[in-house]
Structure 1
Amino acid sequence: MEVMRMAISGTQRGKLISAGYTSLSSLFSVSPLLLAQDLNISEVEALEILKAASHSGRLDTSGGNHAILNGAQNAWEMFEDSCIRITTSSADVDDILGGGISCKQVTEIGGIPGIGKTQFGIQLAVNVQIPAEFGGLGGKAVYVDTEGSFMVERALQIAQGCVDDMENDNCFRQRNIRAVKDKLLPKDFLANIFHFRICSYTELIAMINHLDKWVSEHRDVKLVVIDSVTFYFRQDFEDMAQRTRILGEMALKLMKLAQKFNLAVVLLNQAATKCSEGSYQLTLALGDSWSHASTNRVILYWKGDERCAYIDKSTSLPSAYAPYAITTKGIRNSSKTCKRTKMM
């Protein structure tokens, strides 16, 4: 990340990264007032950061390494960005995901009814708020609810479970950070989840079209969950070609949103069955063309009496599955610790 080369304090770098300012170019077009609001600092401190960014930019140009075309990013910076992840609260599921749900990517999670799709969505909306002192992003979440399945009472339980886990952390007890403890209130976690109830596919399209502007005004948002992306597109369309075009445009906008603002997009999907060589297998809804809409595709399914998450498709992760459990505190490791990995 370019901000890592700036002559500023580590705390300031952390605030910049958490607010989505990872490149020098992202700082060149922002005002001191807006930067101060995004980082929750004074305008004087924001002005100092902008001066440091300007100085770093001049050094890069004089060194002859400045890209001729704006918007270029080297592979190392891309790799560093891909390491920013949101934990699922299940170490086994995080393991097969390479550490959790990745920012700058679109991840699709789907499965049959009752398998825990919404539980994952709510868990991630809570976990994205874990403070940086605990290895989190300290961000906020947008929850787009098309089915009316978001339950605020359940969100409160999961938030309380997250708080309990952090307060039981040995590092927290040793450091006794008051500033962090003030953030560990379940009601504050709920206050940082922006819930949008969507009642038709036209509302969903309008919502996605407006997200770019909305997130640009709320730069601390680090997660967008759509629960579910399937609901209206399975029942309101007779023209499948039109549906494919609309879904393709929607997927492209969500991918651009994730890249532009360095956030994670999670699409919850419903299950379907697919006939292959005379046998039926579990897949996700909306057809083969939609399977290319995400960077990672995770299918949730039952294996006996145990829930499992399986990486069905990914550009960087091997096919693998891991068991998980749904507890009163949210998503956690299964009581059975078995996990198998199969290389692609």
Structure 2
Amino acid sequence: MRIFNHWRQFFPLSIIYHYSTFIYFFLNKSNFSQQISTLILQKKCREMQSQREISTFPLPASYQSKLHLAGYVVAGDLKDVKPSELSKDLEVSHEESLEILNCVNGLSSDGNSTNAMKSGRTMTALELLQEEQNLQSIVTFSEKLDSMLGGGVPLCKITEFCGAPGIGKTQMCMQLAVDVQIPECFGGVEGEAVYIDTEGSFLAERLADIAEVTVKHCQRLDTTGEVSSVFTTERVLSGVHYFRCRDYVELLATIHLLTDFIKDNPKVKLVIIDSIAFHFRHDFEDLGLRTRLLTTVAQNLIQIANQYKLAIVLTNQMTTRVSNQTDMSSNLIPALGESWAHVSTIRIILYWEDKQRMALLYKSPDHKEDTVPFQITMGGIRDMVSSNVEKMSEETGENVAGPSAKRQKVT
């Protein structure tokens, strides 16, 4: 203030105000240079974005063809187009045209930018590697299965379990819903789970059985006794947030509201949808609409997994594909088609082989294809034991012996 009053004696107040902005940037020239660099980068990104071909955007094939026929080739062609105009050109609804414009312009449904480059913040490959190495995994209590996955079900990724009825998909989901709550001192994530049930196969009693055995296992490892008083069966059951979706509308609404729910429950580290295919296989005659809705679901799940650093676990049904029309030979493949196969980061096929449950790592970006056996016991998912071993675990009460344990089905 003294300096300001001193300069007022020699210069008019208007001149001081006129050059104040220049003086500020001169004294903060490093920040000013950084701002200029950011603005230049943003301008180049906008120019590159405007020249991006429409065919490279994650739009359904029906939209792609209509845009091409209407003369929209690059993103810049849609820059100043209004939703009403696009709706008329493509002969689609106003909501569909708005969805197309939001996708091309990199906007979310609330109008906020989703383009990471617009923030001027990029990550190097080294930073990404370090971030992935620091991510935790959710164990399955099957040592061979965890080893095949590189430590368990990873966070920030979508893992899909596919298989025929009765193979153990729901059992796997309930096991993960319990294991995600294992305390960090035991190598766990110490989070909570959201369980979205579309088939009605979720059983609270079965979840309580798995939780009780898991809690007893951790209590045996607790030498201090401090965790035993906190990590209880009741605490585990309270950490599973259950949603029952009876049709695809309820499923879409639940997924849409997941973001707000996770904000209110920041301990959630696992979202389970059992199963993703149930409503989309039975309630649809318009396959184009089904594809568009599944694309929206996939984008929402990927965004949730990356933004909140949590794991997404899906179960999928199997369908029959005829491979040869002459001899009518067929084989079982995961449902929802080839386009859905690109959604999951990791895909595991569960199947029977000689009365034995097997898990095939069918798709993984960083692990080779492999197959391991597993079994379902009263305590949940476990490794197979040799057929000549017959014993009862006194600590857990699990029957881990004999062929009867291998084919044990829990209802």
Q: Which residue of 116, 131, 137 corresponds with 1:85?
A: 137
1:254 to 295, 301, 306: 301
**Is 1:324 equivalent to 2:371 in the alignment?**
no
Larger Rg: 2
> How far apart are residue 110 of structure 1 and its match?
1.3
Q: State the number of aligned residues.
A: 268
Structure 1 match to 2:384? 334
1:122 corresponding residue in structure 2: 174
Match of 2:338 in 1: 288
Matching residue of 2:275: 228
Residue in structure 2 matched with residue 198 of structure 1 by the alignment: 245
2:196 — aligned with what? 144
Contact 1:312 1:319 in 2 (8 A): yes
Q: TM-score, normalised by structure 2?
A: 0.62
RMSD value, Cα: 1.9
For residue 339 of structure 2, what is the amino acid of its counterpart?
A: S
Q: How big is each residue's C-alpha offset from its partner over 1:186-240, in whole Å with a ceiling of 9 and x where there is no partner? A: 1110000000011110110111111112112211100000011111100000111
> Partners of 2:120 and 2:385 in 1: how far apart?
50
The structure whose RCO (Cα within 8 Å, separation 6+) is larger is 1
Matched letter for residue 245 of structure 2: I
| Aligned counterpart in structure 2 of residue 268 of structure 1, from 292, 300, 315 | 315
In 2, Cα distance between the equivalents of 1:308 and 1:96?
12
**In 2: Cα distance, 1:253 partner to 1:336 partner:** 43
In structure 2, the gaps of 5 or more residues are 1-30, 39-118, 388-411
1:77 deviates by 4.0
Counterpart in the other structure of 2:285:
238
- Give deviations 1:66-95, integer Å, cap 9, x for gaps: x96455334344334434110011001001
CA distance in 1, matches of 2:198, 2:173: 13
Counterpart in the other structure of 2:214: 162
Q: Percent identity?
A: 41
Task: Say which is worse superposed, 270-279 or 256-265, in terms of deviation.
Answer: 270-279
Distance in 1 (CA, whole Å) between partners of 2:382 and 2:236 is 19
3-state SS, counterpart of residue 303 of structure 2 = helix
Which residue in the other structure is 1:187 paired with? 234
**Other structure's SS at 2:317 match:** strand
Whole-angstrom distance in 2 between the partners of 1:117 and 1:308:
12
Q: 1:306 — aligned with what?
A: 356
Deviation at 1:245, TM superposition (A): 1.1
CA distance, structure 2, for counterparts of residue 98 and residue 321 of structure 1: 13
- Structure 2 residue aligned with 1:18: none
Greater CA drift, 181-190 or 218-227: 181-190
| Counterpart secondary structure, 1:168 | helix
Would you tell me which structure has more strand in proportion to its own residues?
A: 1
Partner residue, 2:163: 111
Counterpart residue type for residue 93 of structure 1: L
Deviations 1:284-305 (A, max 9, x none): 1111111111101111000111
